Structure 1
Amino acid sequence: MLQTVHQPVADRMARAEVPRLLMCAPEHFAVHYSINPWMDPAAWAAAAVRDGGAAQAKARRQWSALHAALTAAGAAIETVPPVQGLPDLVFTANAAVVLNGTALLARFRHPERQGEEPVFAAAFEGLRTRGLLSRVVALPDDVVLEGAGDCLFDPARDLFWMGHGPRSDPRAAEAVAATFGVSVVPLQLVDPRFYHLDTALCPLPTGDLIYYPGAFSEAGRAAIEAQVPARQRIALGEDDAVQFAANAVCVGGTVVMSRCSAALRAELAARGYAVVETLLDTFLQSGGSAACLTLRLDRHAAVSTALAG
């Protein structure tokens, strides 16, 4: 019997352009408010008194280790300067949806994060001035969409998966489709622990999809199953899901995440991926991990049509 040998994904993508990611150093990261079930400001404050601010130092070390892992995997990193009083600015995934050189700026649901909007807008204008983007676009005034936290491009299918419910409006799908000229598949999120799509779903470049079925409504699961054949679906159990294993960053053939079970590592290895674990448990206290801490800037659709100005 012939045995199928999976060529490493990195070999098949050797000619791809260098991925470019946006990050923000966690100089002011903290848990000062609660807008998702992971955030406990009282526990953070008590730990700060007990440990003398050790959590912030740990956050800086863990962020630096993630930065190093992504760079080692072949990514180029752009940065947004941290701003005092904006502890979640570090989660750059929420800043915008970016495709084809266009950035569709986020609008945040909670007032605690709305102060990030002008900071990110200025950062994207700076990227446009440098030639790294061609356009910066605003959402309609009455639409909430928290960037790539809830809108993930699937390069194998040339479409966006868009989460809605806890943070983003389902109507945002129309704005995304109009801006980028590609299909959008809305997915309702129903488990408050997985309040953004990127906490529960990760499209991989060869068409495989990591996801946690329990995060989605029945209609959402059906939509995933309609687009992704069973052989390409990597369904997480709850143990991996609550460690935010789906909140991963794929650079070429390397999948970077905070934690990975032996079973998930073996599953990804069988599909040609190398897994790099870099612990990010400090950021999980705010409901974030590897994907939340990055934003891909260089994605391009295979086919897109004319867009809004």
Structure 2
Amino acid sequence: MPPSRLPRPRRYLVCEPRYFDVRYAINPWMRENTEVDLDLARSQWDTLVATYRDLGHTVETVAPEPGLPDMVFAANSVLVVEGRVFGSRFHAPQRQPEEALYAAWFKAAGFDVQQSLAVCEGEGDLVPVRGLVLAGTGFRTTTDAHREVQEFFGMPTISLQLVDPYFYHLDTALFVLDDENIAYYPDAFSPGSREVLQRLFPQALTATREDATAFGLNSVSDGQHVLVAPGATALIAQLTTHGYLPVPVDLSEFHKAGGGIKCCTQEIRA
């Protein structure tokens, strides 16, 4: 019998896709001026938010701004651990105006915000688990930012080298299952980083490339329920075998911009 899993209530921040579009290309998934079905994007996003609330989680929203089509990807904005907020410094000029808008939301909500000095893209590349921060680099967030994160949170920060441009953020190649374990796609990482993950998480679930390119690792788990892309069929089967409850949520319209469930979801760990 698979082990029983217990969910933990979460607090999430999201941004509605009012201005979502694909006007420019800053990752391999994007093609300039790709046609976007905004009604479908809004319907998919509404389903995501409703699913979180149906599962008992708190969902708050930040107002979108015209001219910032990627602001919907709230996970890239900051990292929050124990109520401390480390703000992003975006690599792409097109996204840099988002920094002040997200920082203003957190300040208005009563948080102090420290802005990164180095290029850093929030939960896109920073994943807290088991008292550590797993930190991606190679395409966006720099190792200088990893050092800042360790100093700011006082948590060991483990640098992981991403090597496949289709997995340009850590959250496209790895997600946290519960307080102790993760799932990831090994070939997204350098050999040394794969060995680090094997040592730290010998019981981790590993995904196929098919699962990963279906955005199956851009998932969100509350410790029991795993909101996951429906196309990641082999991963969904693994999750079920290991006692998790997969909750398929289709965010395929956002895949055109290289994003999915986790990209649209910032966790406020207060």
Give the TM-score taking structure 1 as reference length: 0.84
Where do residues 73-92 of structure 1 align in structure 2 (5 Å cutoff)? 73-92=55-74
**CA separation in 2, counterparts of 1:83 and 1:239?**
34
Could you tell me how far 1:153 is from its partner in structure 2? 0.6
Over residues 30-67 of structure 1, what are the superposed CA-to-partner deviations in whole Å (9 max), with x where a residue is unaligned?
A: 0011000001123x1xx46xxxxxx0111000000111
Kindly report the root-mean-square deviation, in angstroms, between the aligned alpha carbons of the 2 structures. 1.4
Q: Which residue of 2 aligns with 1:186?
A: 159
| Preserved CA contact (<8 Å) 1:74 1:251 | no
Deviation for aligned residue 1:152:
0.5
In 2: Cα distance, 1:174 partner to 1:263 partner: 36
Equivalent position SS for 1:263: helix
**Counterpart in the other structure of 1:36:** 27
Structure 1: runs of 5+ lacking an equivalent: 49-54, 300-309
Task: Identify the residue that residue 307 of structure 1 maps to in structure 2.
Answer: none
Structure 2 residue aligned with 1:151: 126
More helix by proportion, 1 or 2?
Answer: 1
1:8 aligns with 2:4: yes
How many angstroms does 1:260 deviate by?
A: 4.5
Secondary structure of the residue aligned to 2:39 is helix
Give the secondary structure class of the aligned counterpart of 1:276: strand
Does structure 1 residue 139 correspond to structure 2 residue 116?
A: yes
Q: Using the alignment, how far apart are the partners of 1:262 and 1:166 within structure 2?
A: 28
**Equivalents in 2 of 1:195, 1:158: separation in Å?**
24
Give the greater-gyration-radius structure (CA).
1
Indicate how the Cα distance of structure 1 residues 213 and 252 shifts in structure 2: closer, same or farther if over 3 A, else same: closer
Structure 2 regions of 5+ residues with no counterpart? none
Q: What is the rounded CA distance, in whole Å, between the counterparts of 2:78 and 2:197 in structure 1? A: 23
- Report if aligned partners of 1:257, 1:290 keep a CA contact under 8 Å in 2: yes
Q: Which shows bigger deviation, 250-259 or 24-33?
A: 250-259
Cα separation, 2, equivalents of 1:136 and 1:183: 20
Q: 2:230 aligns with which of 235, 255, 259?
A: 259
- What are the within-5 Å matches in structure 2 for residues 1-309 of structure 1? 5-10=1-6, 13=7, 16=8, 18-42=9-33, 44=34, 47=35, 55-128=37-110, 133=111, 135-140=112-117, 143-154=118-129, 157-229=130-202, 232-298=203-269
Distance change in 2, residues 1:96/1:261 (3 Å): closer
CA distance in 2, matches of 1:240, 1:261: 4
CA separation in 2, counterparts of 1:6 and 1:32? 45
Maintained 8 Å contact 2:177/2:223 = no
TM-score by length of 2: 0.96
Query: Aligned partners of 1:191, 1:6: CA distance in 2, in Å?
Result: 33
Tell me if the contact between 2:79 and 2:123 (Cα under 8 Å) persists in the aligned partners. yes
Distance 1:89-1:261 versus aligned 2 partners, 3 A rule: closer
